[in-house]
């Protein structure tokens, strides 16, 4: 069966020392939690120290380059992440798509590279407000999923890919998708995975919801059949708040 996961994406927030402090505290707060995998994605600059205090918190990077090394100024490679003990990498986040021009093709290269280097991918998809208003949500999500997962095998999907559905209009806006709106898209993604792979892959893939997840709304979201936890931005920056979200995924 698929795992329940609560993942925190810190984006460009927290210094190294702040990150170490929060992850240490979070680790204490969730010491007794079983049955939910907890992931934190701090900035690159904090990864090295945070993995040392992570305890049961798994650590993710927020991005990576697909090449192992070379003349790519400012970039971080999969072998650098692996060497630090990082387990996951977020790929295809809408902020990467919107501000850094990441396309499906490029995201697909990154996912393939992550899997080839034994990193688990948290692959993000989601529509913009105008897509939703035009009734294009499913088309956009299908385009992201098919583009990003091109050439990814069933075995790779089963072992190492998590999907994050993050409607762009709900990210950082305080406007959460209702549990029903989110569930509808999650069910669509699962149907798509059945068509692209099979029922086993669809049933085993963890699909996280992201977009203004808070302690107060997380329980209702996570109780939906096809929502297997959350990918949380703002509310993951405080250990107390995030630990409530973790418990709501139980
Ligand atoms: P917020 O929870 O701040 O809306 O961010 C969601 C997100 O983008 C997580 O990747």
Atom number of ligand 1 nearest to Cα 236: 2
Instruction: Output b/e per residue, 102-116; b: 16+ Cβ within 10 A.
Output: bebebbbbbbbbbbe
**What atom in ligand 1 is closest to the CA of residue 234?**
3
Residue 49: both structure tokens together:
């120290």
Note the pLDDT of residue 180.
97
| C-alpha 92 – ligand 1 centre gap (Å) | 13
Which of 93, 102, 127, 144 is catalytic? The answer is 93
Mutate which of 165, 166, 214 for ligand 1 pocket (most atoms within 8 A of beta carbon): 166
Q: Closest ligand 1 atom, CA of 95? A: 8
Taking CA atoms only, the protein residue closest to ligand 1 atom 1 is: 233
Quote the CATH superfamily of domain 4-248.
Answer: Aldolase class I (3.20.20.70)
**CA dihedral for 194, 200, 205, 207, sign (positive or negative):** positive
- The pLDDT profile of the chain, 250 residues, written as one tens digit per residue, is 799 999 999 999 999 999 999 999 999 999 999 999 999 999 999 999 999 999 999 999 999 999 999 999 999 999 999 999 999 999 999 999 999 999 999 999 999 999 999 999 999 999 999 999 999 999 999 999 999 999 999 999 999 999 999 999 999 888 889 999 999 999 999 999 999 999 999 999 999 999 999 999 999 999 999 999 999 999 999 999 999 999 999 9
Position 47 scores a pLDDT of 98
Greatest Cα pair distance in the chain: 47
Q: What is the pLDDT of residue 174?
A: 82
* Structure tokens given for 91: 């790929």
- Contacts of residue 78, defined as CB under 8 A and 6 or more positions apart, other chains included, come to 64, 65, 66, 68, 89, 113, 114, 116, 117, 119
Closest CA to 7 of 98, 124, 136, 110: 124
Q: Ligand 1: which of 8, 60, 99, 171 to mutate, judged by most atoms within 8 Å of the beta carbon?
A: 171
Residue extents of the structural domains in the chain: 4-248
Residue with tokens 């792979």: 197
Q: Is 95 a catalytic residue?
A: no
- Whole-structure pTM value: 0.97
User: How far apart are the CA of 232 and the centre of ligand 1, in A?
Assistant: 5
Q: Which residues line ligand 1 (CB under 6 A)?
A: 9, 93, 166, 171-172, 210-213, 231-235
Q: State in Å: Cα 7 to ligand 1 middle.
A: 10
If you measure from the C-alpha of residue 144 to the centroid of ligand 1, how many angstroms do you get, rounded to a whole number?
18
User: Is-catalytic flag, 166?
Assistant: yes
- Cα–ligand 1 centroid distance for 230 (angstroms): 9
In sequence order, the β-bridge partners of residue 40 are 8, 59
Q: Residue 43 in contact with residue 62, Cβ under 8 Å?
A: yes
Which residue's C-alpha comes closest to atom 2 of ligand 1? 233
What pLDDT is recorded for position 26?
98
Say if CB 11 and CB 35 are below 8 A apart. Answer: no
Give the model's pLDDT for residue 172: 87
Among 156, 166, 183, 186, the active-site one is 166
């Amino acid at each position: 069966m698929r795992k329940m996961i609560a993942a925190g994406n810190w984006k460009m927030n927290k210094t190294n020392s702040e990150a170490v402090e929060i992850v240490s505290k979070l680790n204490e707060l969730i010491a007794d939690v079983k049955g939910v995998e907890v992931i934190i994605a701090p900035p690159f600059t904090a990864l090295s120290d945070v993995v040392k205090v992570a305890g049961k918190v798994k650590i993710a990077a927020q991005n990576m380059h697909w090449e192992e090394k070379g003349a790519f100024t400012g970039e971080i490679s999969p072998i650098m992440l692996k060497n630090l003990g990082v387990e996951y990498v977020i790929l295809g986040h809408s902020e990467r798509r919107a501000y850094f021009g990441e396309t499906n093709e490029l995201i697909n290269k990154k996912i393939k590279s992550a899997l080839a280097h034994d990193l688990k991918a948290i692959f993000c998809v989601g529509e913009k407000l105008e897509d939703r208003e035009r009734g294009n949500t499913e088309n956009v999500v299908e385009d992201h999923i098919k583009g990003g997962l091109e050439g990814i095998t069933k075995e790779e999907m089963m072992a190492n890919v998590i999907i994050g559905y993050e409607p762009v209009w709900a990210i950082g806006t305080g406007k959460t998708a209702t549990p029903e709106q989110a569930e509808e898209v999650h069910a669509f993604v699962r149907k798509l995975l059945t068509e692209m792979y099979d029922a086993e892959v669809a049933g085993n893939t963890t699909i996280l919801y992201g977009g203004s997840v808070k302690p107060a709304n997380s329980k209702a979201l996570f109780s939906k059949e096809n929502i297997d936890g959350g990918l949380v931005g703002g509310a993951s920056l405080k250990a107390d708040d995030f630990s409530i979200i973790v418990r709501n995924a139980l």
